Chains A and B, each alone.
Chain A
Amino acid sequence: MDAEPRYGFTQIAMALYTIVYREIHRFLRIWVQTILPPAITMTLYFVIFGSLIGSRIGQMDGFDYMDYIVPGIIMMAVINSSYANVVSSFYGAKFQKHIEEMLVSPMPLTIILTGYVIGGVARGLLVGLVVTLTSLIFTDLNIQYPLLTFAVVLLTAILFSLAGFINGIYANSFDDISIVPTFVLTPLTYLGGVFYSISLLPGFWQKVSHLNPILYMVNAFRYGILGVSDISIPTALGIILIVIALLFSYCLHLLHIGYGIRT
């Protein structure tokens, strides 16, 4: 028996690097499908909601409407992109069965998960950066709390990459990977305070809005940029971290039992 383990820390790090390299290379290779569309969509939001309609709305929480919606729109792009990257890549690997390349290798399951999440975060942050630069055409961004802003966008990208991973595991067809974004993610994002302050809602709907996790991310991010928020920032960060911990554990559980990937 070979007593000396050959698959140590260096090999594990190299395996993680391999997945991350492949994931980033994948979405950069098809940038016309992965980076450009959100940039165009978000530019339209800036033009239509920010410039055209926003000029009639006036101010929101003491800011021009354009300034108010910019953080939410950036966050919406980050959420959609990080989620879409992981769900499409992981389901693609399942569909073509090349997920088996990883499963038969000695790579720990945690590394597979981490690799996909880093890929999702990378795309989320890159798209977020592109949308942020686009927003500079329409407004000046004076970021109040840069560290907090970056922390929130990073954690949000991690959270939605994990969510995308779960969707990828459960998906049995390409339809399944578009159902959640269409019927869950988009409504929650729109109702998560991207375009309005929840203080405008009646009391009951304000309470209902607090059940929406995206509200916390959008508001924490908006606080980082503008310094205003509908909710408490420590609460928002706490909720984001708890959800990440729960999703990460659940992803690992699904990988360990081999749900959807082993028979």
Chain B
Amino acid sequence: MYALTIDNLTKTYDNGFDALKGISFSVQEGDFFALLGPNGAGKSTTLGIISTLVNKSQGNVSVFGWDIDTHARMAKQYLGLVPQEINFNQFEKVEDILITQAGFYGYSRHRAKTQAHTVLQQLGLWQKRRDRSRDLSGGMKRRLMIARALMHQPRLLILDEPTAGVDIELRHSMWHFLQQLNEEGTTIILTTHYLEEAEQLCKHIAIIDEGKIVRDSDMRSLLNEINQETFVIYLKNSLTETPDVPEFALNLIDEHTLEAVVLEGQNLNTLFQCLTDIGLEVVSLKNKSNRLEQLFLRLVKEDGR
């Protein structure tokens, strides 16, 4: 079953800007789906339309089979939204925000309170439950946004850049939490500018650029399309010029650092062997850039041509 189906969706704003030019894609139930794109590509507009905060111009959207136009109430029950901007009442207490949110979904105050306690503990906000939301740190506000979206136990969770501006430790703990949530059956749609995040978490990916979907596939096959990778290699030896290794394109960055391009079909063992043969000892290596990032830039560039 599809958790989300989008068919030929268009959006033209009042100023004439075509934010979406007939996009179509589907998200399977249980998927962890990344919707990526540069700024202004149409990601937030798409999520806004799904959550009914943005009026669409044309096309159809259905959530678990329920059309958002004809069966909005049914569709909305399945949906949890974590928007990009902090949008809770800054004067309310953390616990009250959660209880109120559940109330909008028809929860009694007693039931909402029980659910709030569960979610607060899951997201590490229990100690802050009686604090005013405006007094929370940036990371805690982000977690509160997620907690609020989970209050009615949605089957489809939409996260619009949930880790923007969050420190690395918290980002990793949020990744862990979201992965767990997904494993428990919640379908997740994520937009992010951290491509490492998408690569780490998501099973499927759609790339949107200038209001069009330029790629929609599963993560594994997308990454398989990468036909070369660039590695930064740290050497024990000191070099004055780029070593001559005909099999690989090498570039000397500084006396202890080399850059090596490994093409599809080549492997790192061969590279290490070649370096060892000429007396070089590798201390460590890393990817020059994230693999998905390389692909993303290529696809967006191709679309722009």
- State whether the Cβ of B231 lies closer than 8 Å to any Cβ in chain A: no
Contact assessment for A14 and B90 in the assembled complex, using a CB-CB cutoff below 8 Å: no
- State whether the Cβ of B248 lies closer than 8 Å to any Cβ in chain A: no
Contact assessment for B52 and A98 in the assembled complex, using a CB-CB cutoff below 8 Å: no
Q: In whole angstroms, what is the CA distance A2 to B107 when docked?
A: 19
- State whether the Cβ of A148 lies closer than 8 Å to any Cβ in chain B: no
- State whether the Cβ of A37 lies closer than 8 Å to any Cβ in chain B: no
Contact assessment for A11 and B106 in the assembled complex, using a CB-CB cutoff below 8 Å: yes
Q: A12-B106, A18-B104, A107-B104 are in contact. Are A7 and B77 (CB under 8 A)?
A: yes
Q: Tell me the minimal C-beta distance from A262 to chain B in angstroms.
A: 5
- State whether the Cβ of A100 lies closer than 8 Å to any Cβ in chain B: yes
Query: Inside 8 A of A258's CB, which chain B residues have their CB?
Result: 55
Contact assessment for A106 and B76 in the assembled complex, using a CB-CB cutoff below 8 Å: yes
- State whether the Cβ of B100 lies closer than 8 Å to any Cβ in chain A: yes
Looking at chain B's contact residues, the main secondary structure is loop
Contact assessment for A262 and B103 in the assembled complex, using a CB-CB cutoff below 8 Å: no
A92 nearest CB neighbor, chain B only: B89
Contact of A100 among B66, B73, B83 (CB under 8 A): B83
- State whether the Cβ of A93 lies closer than 8 Å to any Cβ in chain B: yes
Q: In whole angstroms, what is the CA distance A7 to B88 when docked?
A: 23
Contact assessment for A15 and B105 in the assembled complex, using a CB-CB cutoff below 8 Å: yes
Q: In whole angstroms, what is the CA distance A21 to B103 when docked?
A: 10
Q: A5-B74, A102-B104, A104-B79 are in contact. Are A93 and B89 (CB under 8 A)?
A: yes
A-B contact number at CB 8 A: 90
Query: Inside 8 A of B13's CB, which chain A residues have their CB?
Result: 263
Q: A105-B76, A262-B55 are in contact. Are A96 and B90 (CB under 8 A)?
A: yes
Query: Inside 8 A of A146's CB, which chain B residues have their CB?
Result: none
Q: In whole angstroms, what is the CA distance A14 to B107 when docked?
A: 7
Q: In whole angstroms, what is the CA distance A103 to B48 when docked?
A: 11
Q: Tell me the minimal C-beta distance from A123 to chain B in angstroms.
A: 17
A-contacting residues, B67-114, CB 8 Å? 72-74, 76-77, 79, 81, 83, 85, 87-90, 100-101, 103-109
Q: In whole angstroms, what is the CA distance A5 to B77 when docked?
A: 10
Contact assessment for B73 and A101 in the assembled complex, using a CB-CB cutoff below 8 Å: no
Query: Inside 8 A of B64's CB, which chain A residues have their CB?
Result: 1-2
Contact assessment for A22 and B73 in the assembled complex, using a CB-CB cutoff below 8 Å: no
- State whether the Cβ of B40 lies closer than 8 Å to any Cβ in chain A: no
Contact assessment for A18 and B65 in the assembled complex, using a CB-CB cutoff below 8 Å: no
A30 nearest CB neighbor, chain B only: B91
Contact assessment for A97 and B87 in the assembled complex, using a CB-CB cutoff below 8 Å: yes
Q: Tell me the minimal C-beta distance from B84 to chain A in angstroms.
A: 11
- State whether the Cβ of B51 lies closer than 8 Å to any Cβ in chain A: yes
Query: Inside 8 A of B109's CB, which chain A residues have their CB?
Result: 21
Q: Tell me the minimal C-beta distance from B210 to chain A in angstroms.
A: 19
- State whether the Cβ of B204 lies closer than 8 Å to any Cβ in chain A: no
Query: Inside 8 A of B103's CB, which chain A residues have their CB?
Result: 14-15, 17-19, 21
B-contacting residues, A87-126, CB 8 Å? 92-93, 96-98, 100-108
- State whether the Cβ of A6 lies closer than 8 Å to any Cβ in chain B: yes
The interface of chain B, by Cβ under 8 A from chain A, is: 13, 48, 51-55, 64-66, 72-74, 76-77, 79, 81, 83, 85, 87-90, 100-101, 103-109, 148
